[in-house]
Chain A
Amino acid sequence: MSGELLLQVTVSGLTNGFLYALIGLGLAVVYKGSAIINAAQGDFAIVGAIVTVLFTQSAGMPYWVSIVIGVMAAALLGGLMEVACIRPMLRLKASEESILLATVGLTFLIGAVVLVVVGKAAYFLPPIGGEAQVQVGSATLQRHAVIVVAAALLVVAALAAFYKYTHLGRSMVAASSDADGAVSIGINVPLMRTFTFMLGGLIGGIAGVLQTPLIGVSFAMGIAITLKGVAATVLGGLVNPMGAVAGGLIIGLAEALAVFLFNSGYQNVVTMGLLIVIMIAMPNGLFVTARRRGG
């Protein structure tokens, strides 16, 4: 086992880890704001990426403009999801299992729409920052990977600032932690939930745009992406955004190690196996010591 190879593997594992962290972050945001685990989170990434692809390739727009449109589209999808699906279910007092099942159905639906619009093929986007490469010790990285890391950290910081310093952010926190109290001070709780989903969509869209240059995007990828994000966020403690980042990195590294030691085909097996183990052994994540049952 050469040290160089190990370093290379670690570096790519961390890069992927930040991507998983972003998906996990989106999941954590939605869960924190609505106590709902959205199985269609990965589809925000897919839609964000596909819309960006369409605007770049078919409409020939500048890359950055397409990215903005793509991410906005994902955010809008999140809002639509909340209004059209979640809100009616909550009004009908559906159980958390029903809602989860509905989001699983949405994964299928969104995948079907993408299939009809762009077909079965996998699409790629040009790496952000061009084809340039960067040296880290003996390992080489695409500049894009560095941008992934930077973007992920930026999103985390922006999110923290948003929740703490903006009126909207604080309202969303209030609405999710104490709905009755929030209503009494004039906060529109359902609207806050819509914004929560839009935020989840936004973060998911960003993740999609960032990951497509590396691994491409296709119609059926949604659930696999979601599950990796779930692994990241559960490891990090479900509502803790920083935890999602840490969790994502651990998952990314574990996966890279698995690829290194075994065949690359086993990476999903390893990450999914890790998810199961985490949920059973550490339902509250690595960073919380309270013994409550997860779920």
Chain B
Amino acid sequence: MDRSLLPDSVRAGSASTRHSGGRGLALVLTCVSLAAAPLLLSVHYVDLLVFAALLAISGLGVGFLLGQAGIINLAQVAFYGIGAYATAHVTVAWNLPGLLGLLLGVVISAAFALVMGLPLLRLSGHFLALATLALMVIVTQLFFEWDWLTGGSLGIGGIPKISLFGWTFDTPMKFYYFAWPIALLCFWMLSNIADGRPGLAMRAMRDSPEAAEVMAVDSTALRTKLFVLSAILGSISGSLFAHYVGYISVESFTLERTIVMIMAPVIGGVRNPWSALPGAIFLSFLPELLSPLGEVYRILFGLGLVLVIILFPQGLLGIANWRRVK
């Protein structure tokens, strides 16, 4: 890939403003707003924000791959589903704690991503995107076929609430204060990767794979590691989802979902590791705003998505990027 993912003007600069005061302030404001929100909003909106947190986590994974390495990963919903089904099984069928379910989901997703990643990530551009799409179709089809494992279209119900150190997260407000800290932690960690040595290597690899090779960047290894990381995030998000809604079925794991997951960081402004956060909040509230229009909302949603890709490659955080012109 010789060209950048989205049409940044070359003036836009890079993401190395590690200690820029502006970013720190924005972060603090975000955390404060998120902490205060449930106290000011009705349960209905808190519920929406919980879903936003889950979307943010899985969006973070795909957004990172896209923004840092230029890889379009359309398979995220597959790992989301693996995480959900794993934890559903562990808690419902085996009666073990939810955290173990989360862990199992992560292990399976990571292993699967590693095995599939090594051959797939040799591809690039169109082919890689299509291969991840094909992977998604395969896995979601298996969710449907292997109904002895997943309950097929009947799904798995009665998933118990998850607990940590004695606290059970059985209300939207409690789950909110469980999910958002996890989300913020994940964002922080991935942002650190972007600022660090691996982030540098990825952005180099994206601009010029041959020159990066001469700099001894092993691109397949790096891309595989990030793919596994993205899958782990998808899995965590899926497991949390299962414990929040209590019932999952194949209807939850569709092409639409995987598209929404990659839209979150795109809307936020893909080159910024934090982009999935505003993107997820936006996407979670949008159906709410459009629902008075009825079925037509899906069309507007789709239209909005396409327009954002075409017209706003810098996303919502694009303004922040322009400030980095040095």
The residues of A with any CB-CB pair to B shorter than 8 Å are 37, 39, 85, 88-89, 92-98, 100-102, 104-113, 115-116, 220, 223-224, 227, 230, 234, 263, 265-266, 268-269, 272-273, 275-276, 279-280, 283, 293-295
Contact = CB atoms under 8 A, between A and B. Distances in A.
A295 B124 contact: yes
A85 B303 CA distance: 11
A85 B310 contact: yes
6 contacts: A96-B3, A97-B1, A223-B255, A227-B133, A272-B135, A273-B134
A29 B131 CA distance: 21
Range, interface on chain B: 35 or more
B291 to A, nearest CB: 14
B6 A112 contact: no
A109 B302 contact: yes
B3 A279 contact: no
A92 B125 contact: no
B305 interface: yes
Given A108-B259, A275-B131, A276-B135, A295 B5 contact: no
B5 A279 contact: no
Nearest to A293: B124
Contacts of A94: 6-7, 310, 313
B122 A280 contact: yes
A112 B145 contact: no
Contact of A102 (B74, B296, B309): B309
A236 B134 CA distance: 18
A112 B301 contact: yes
Interface stretch (B21-29, B89-97, B136-144): B136-144
A105 B302 contact: yes
Contacts, number: 146
Given A85-B306, A234-B127, 11 more contacts: A85-B310, A92-B7, A92-B311, A96-B3, A97-B70, A107-B255, A115-B295, A230-B130, A265-B145, A283-B127, A295-B128
Contacts of B306: 85, 102, 105-106, 109
A115 to B, nearest CB: 6
B129 A97 contact: yes
Contacts of A220: 254-255
B34 interface: no
Contacts of A106: 302, 306
Contacts of A97: 1, 5, 70, 72, 125-126, 129
Contacts of B137: 223-224, 227, 268, 272
A294 B127 CA distance: 7
B299 A113 contact: yes
Contacts of B120: 276, 280
Contact of B129 (A100, A110, A113, A115): A100
Given A227-B134, A268-B141, A294-B127, A95 B309 contact: no
B133 A223 contact: yes
Contacts of A276: 119-120, 131, 134-135
Contacts of B309: 98, 101-102, 105
B138 A268 contact: yes
Nearest to A89: B310
A276 B11 CA distance: 38
Contacts of A108: 255-256, 259, 302, 305
A260 B255 CA distance: 27
Contacts of A96: 3, 125-126
B298 interface: yes
Contacts of A85: 306, 310
A221 to B, nearest CB: 11
A1 B6 CA distance: 53
Interface string B237-280: 00000000000000000111001001100100000000000000
A92 B124 CA distance: 22
B4 interface: yes
Contact of A116 (B4, B5, B298, B313): B298
